[in-house]
Structure 1
Amino acid sequence: MSRTRDPERSIRTVDFELPRGEVSIEKLMAMEPAEWEHLRREINIRHQQNKARPLACCGVCRGPIYIRGSQHRGRDVPMFAHYPDSLMDCPWHHGPSMTPDKARAAQYQGRQESSRHARLCELLEEVAKADPRCTDTAIDTYRRSQIHKRGRWPDVFLDMGPLGRFVLEVQLSKPFAPEIAARHLHYEREGEHLIWVFSELENPMPLGFRDVVTMQRGNAFVFDHTAQVASYEHRTVVLNCYIEDGHGGWLPPRLVKLDDLKTGKGRAVFLEDRRSELLEQRCRANRKVWVKACRTAQQRTPDDPAYDDVFITQWSGLKDRVPGLGKWEAENWPFGSDRARFMIANLVLMLCSIAHSAAGASPVLYVTKFKGANAVLQMLNTKMTAGELRPCADLVRTFVSRTVLAGLLVTPSLQRILEQGRMAAPQIGPGHPVWEAMAVLFAEVLDGLVRAELSDLDRLPAWASQGAGTFEPAGRACPVS
């Protein structure tokens, strides 16, 4: 039976470290599983690294929070929750919950091993020993830490010589998120590659197993009968690797050796970084039609590309996608006016120019006809003096500060123009429909959650990762109207 939660006592908003910022419960529940599972992973890792500096805090009591899964109609729904040892005087605190140690004790009922678990460990060690590169193995043996911290009891330890040292954790029952994070941090410090091994792929997959898949970037490793046969045939460890298909299922499994796996990416061991690839594809797909429209407008209407009719379809689609954008248009311009579309088109043309110039060896402009090394600066100086774009001074400054063109912000002329814009008009900030619309199109820069996730996975594109990125818009968003 699923647990019920009093909606009046649920945590409504949580403040994450920048660049993520504030995340509401509605935004959390609207996320795809891969998105909130990554947030859950990062919260757990930070909690293990430094409890005094939590990644996310309750919007009321400022206490640290984590993300738990609440079963609803056969699937896990993410919810914010206080830790069991948090102070209970917060109006959003729902009461005590079971600590990880007590939950673990209840799950295992005192039995940390089973005959099936032991047999799988023995089989993995046996096939590893058949590999001539293997120099040392151990099952359930305490290994002292090399850096003077508490050691661990890995299920199976393998020293595979030139391949490196591996720890195989055979998981038959649901692991606990804090322990998953703790083990990955420990073995990363020890220079050992941690692989979680299942005996089968459960459907639906429990959240604890999903935490493992998240850590392994969308990969699940299974030591089933097929993998065992292949291991004996090849005289080395062979696992069946399942990779997420991006639609809630799995691609056909592939038999892989330890040699096939990527082990040089920090905490994760995987065959393909499925999570990062899909996130990058989504970012590019969100702005693809707008980039195409910018190029078309530049060719057809070079003197004033923002007024080209090619943006009509894109503007309509963006209003359908971003709540509040249509209301913002209606409250600022009379019915039938195209000025909102012209403003957004101008903004997109300018941001596309910044992004593509940052990604290339020379300036690429879709608006204005400046050329040469200072073309981007001249474009910004010209466009940001326009009255309609003055409310976007903070947005533009934030955008530039997070790219390799961040050095432009120290130019006196641009500093003066942006400051004049800030003084002349209330600024569009995070939460404003225009900011959210640009965050859809340029998520790597303006969507704090996406930017942070790409950074966590070492996949933030070079054009968006070299800037200082220290500027944050002052205060909260100005009113929509």
Structure 2
Amino acid sequence: MIGNTTVDPLAWAEPVTKPEIDTVRNPRTGHVLNVRRLIRAFRYEHAILLRQKLKALIKRDGARLVCATCGVPVYLACSTTKRFFFRHRHEDGSCPAVTRTGLSEADIRAMKYRGAQESAAHRRIKELLLRSLSADPRFKDVVQEKTWKASEGLTGLRRPDVSAWTDTDRLAFEVQLSTTFMDVVLSRKEFYRAERATLVWVLPNFHPSYRRMTDDDILFGNNSNVFVVDERSAAASEAAGTFIMTCWYRKPIRQGDEIVDEWIERQVCWDEVTVDVDRQTIVAFDYRLAAARLGEELRAARSEWLATAEAAAKLAREDQEDVLREEVLRFVLDPSRDDDHLPRYHAWALLHDRLRSMGYGLDGEYPDLLTATRIVHLIESARAGTPVGFRYKSFAELGHHLIHQHPELLLAFGHMLRRFGTRDALYRDDRTGKLRAKLDAMRSDLLQDPKYRMPEDQERLCAFLSLGGSRKAWPNNDNTDQSGRAAA
């Protein structure tokens, strides 16, 4: 076990320190990608699956990524320390990036075969597998080392360690003891898929804290399930009269606001596994489905938490706004005020800083207290149905004043009269009818003429202090027309 590196499936993948190929290109889009950044964008388990997809594409003479320097198709490879890099499909010396040794994978496989042949351990696991399958009457034609020839129109042959039939499945069992090139794993999957059979990888032992690269290829390619056949599982099969294997699988669980894995080890009988010929998977637990459901649950919980937090923040802000609004109104309407007294302007500056921090302040370095006072008096006059703070005795006088001195306030004043239900008071003292005549004459220009438009900062402050009363209500329920002509 010394020297093995085992990586958490949910950890972020890591590139080698100095990759020979530092950029790759997507031949379809032309995008050039930094290798280190690309690799770090994947979780470790997804990097393993990407590695398999890229290699499978290359085996079919396809390419999702090519070397940005020479254009040769590349696939993701992994170092002995489980760090990733890109390797050329082939090298002829024309590219400065050298990613392959002098020995081919076929050479290395031949060396391993000459050095090991079939070990006693390998034969022992085959015997245990034969005993386990033979204990279950549902498995027919249980044989070892039977050659499978490709069907008509296909090429190649395979000799699985053990093969068997059930009423619904044709199965090929391969005992995996030593490391195996990913090419071998992919080739066998493709062969058995074409034969409408399912490949079942069997390990002599497994532990999630010590996983070889081959184990990871089998594990993640099989939806995070691996199967072990040993003395214990064989004895259980014979005792129960049904085929039993030990299954290790990942199970996603919520831990706070994230998903983590726990590893489960249990004996499973054949009735508990799901066989998928097209995907070439045999699983006792559907990790992908469970992770997807948990991800949805977590996203829903996060959305609910965010909505609750946003609602709480909104309520807190509304409370702060209510307090600030009342302070501004009280400050301006204080009958004991002295507008010429310096401390009052200092107090206004502090109050205005709070308005500005919440987005309702007036523009400029020195906010005009007189402007704020006029806005407050306009609001209170509309609310009361009588002039407040303008030193006029009637609404008609106030109306004439606004027309001639502050036409920019007319629209806001009209909206507030309707909102507060005091519109009729505007004409109550208009004995001569002059106010109505003036308003009727200017009505068509209220929305077009810039002189009737409040400066943006003043309009914002007025809307805040009037609780939106100075703006046209929408949708309206007071029969104002959609053009916004509400002043009269």
Output the TM-score relative to the length of structure 2: 0.54
Aligned to 1:251: 263
User: Identity across aligned pairs (percent)?
Assistant: 20
Give secondary structure in 2 for the equivalent of 1:71.
Answer: coil
Partners of 1:177 and 1:211 within 8 A in 2: yes
Letter aligned with residue 70 of structure 1: S
**CA distance in 2 between partners of 1:244 and 1:262 (Å):** 16
Larger deviation, residues 206-215 vs 280-289: 280-289
Q: Would the alpha carbon gap of residues 293 and 133 (structure 1) be closer, same or farther in structure 2, given more than 3 Å must change?
A: same
Q: Would the alpha carbon gap of residues 268 and 27 (structure 1) be closer, same or farther in structure 2, given more than 3 Å must change?
A: same
Give secondary structure in 1 for the equivalent of 2:263.
Answer: coil
Give the one of 244, 247, 268 matched to 1:238. Answer: 244
**CA distance in 2 between partners of 1:287 and 1:19 (Å):** 37
Q: Would the alpha carbon gap of residues 39 and 163 (structure 1) be closer, same or farther in structure 2, given more than 3 Å must change?
A: same
Q: Would the alpha carbon gap of residues 308 and 144 (structure 1) be closer, same or farther in structure 2, given more than 3 Å must change?
A: farther
**CA distance in 2 between partners of 1:64 and 1:133 (Å):** 46
Aligned to 2:160: 154
| Residue 116 (str. 1) matches residue 121 (str. 2) | yes
Give the one of 24, 45, 48 matched to 1:34. Answer: 45
Give the one of 121, 135, 140 matched to 2:140. Answer: 135
Give the one of 58, 63, 66 matched to 1:54. Answer: 63
Give secondary structure in 2 for the equivalent of 1:214.
Answer: helix
Give secondary structure in 2 for the equivalent of 1:205.
Answer: coil
Aligned to 1:289: 302
1:191-217 Cα distance to aligned partner (Å, 9 max, x none): 111111000115421111110111111
**CA distance in 2 between partners of 1:283 and 1:115 (Å):** 48
Letter aligned with residue 183 of structure 1: R
Partners of 2:66 and 2:73 within 8 A in 1: yes
**CA distance in 2 between partners of 1:195 and 1:61 (Å):** 39
**CA distance in 2 between partners of 1:267 and 1:17 (Å):** 28
| Residue 223 (str. 1) matches residue 229 (str. 2) | yes
Partners of 2:233 and 2:246 within 8 A in 1: yes
1:154-178 Cα distance to aligned partner (Å, 9 max, x none): 1110112x24111111011112101
Letter aligned with residue 55 of structure 2: N
**CA distance in 1 between partners of 2:246 and 2:56 (Å):** 27
Q: Taking CA–CA contacts closer than 8 Å with sequence separation of 6 or more, which of the two structures ends up with the larger relative contact order?
A: 1
**CA distance in 2 between partners of 1:214 and 1:62 (Å):** 29
**CA distance in 1 between partners of 2:274 and 2:48 (Å):** 21
Give secondary structure in 1 for the equivalent of 2:143.
Answer: strand
Give the one of 166, 178, 184 matched to 2:189. Answer: 184
Give secondary structure in 2 for the equivalent of 1:54.
Answer: coil
Q: Would the alpha carbon gap of residues 88 and 277 (structure 1) be closer, same or farther in structure 2, given more than 3 Å must change?
A: farther
Partners of 1:219 and 1:241 within 8 A in 2: yes
> How far is 1:47 from its partner?
2.7
Give the one of 256, 271, 286 matched to 1:273. Answer: 286
Letter aligned with residue 146 of structure 1: S
Q: Would the alpha carbon gap of residues 109 and 195 (structure 1) be closer, same or farther in structure 2, given more than 3 Å must change?
A: same
Partners of 1:297 and 1:308 within 8 A in 2: no
Aligned to 2:452: none
**CA distance in 2 between partners of 1:141 and 1:20 (Å):** 48
Give secondary structure in 2 for the equivalent of 1:9.
Answer: coil
Structure 2, unaligned runs of 5 or more? 5-14, 253-258, 320-356, 360-488
Letter aligned with residue 22 of structure 2: I
> Which has the larger Rg?
2
Let me know the Cα RMSD of the aligned residues: 3.6
Give secondary structure in 1 for the equivalent of 2:85.
Answer: strand
Structure 1, unaligned runs of 5 or more? 302-306, 310-335, 339-481
Letter aligned with residue 287 of structure 2: R
Letter aligned with residue 204 of structure 1: Y
Q: How many residues align?
A: 299
Aligned to 2:275: 263
**CA distance in 2 between partners of 1:188 and 1:181 (Å):** 11
**CA distance in 1 between partners of 2:242 and 2:27 (Å):** 44
Partners of 1:216 and 1:270 within 8 A in 2: yes
> How far is 1:226 from its partner?
1.9
Q: Would the alpha carbon gap of residues 38 and 23 (structure 1) be closer, same or farther in structure 2, given more than 3 Å must change?
A: farther
**CA distance in 2 between partners of 1:88 and 1:201 (Å):** 41
Partners of 1:69 and 1:79 within 8 A in 2: yes
Aligned to 1:70: 79
Give the one of 78, 81, 84 matched to 2:87. Answer: 81
Partners of 1:122 and 1:139 within 8 A in 2: no
> How far is 1:30 from its partner?
5.3
> How far is 1:181 from its partner?
0.8
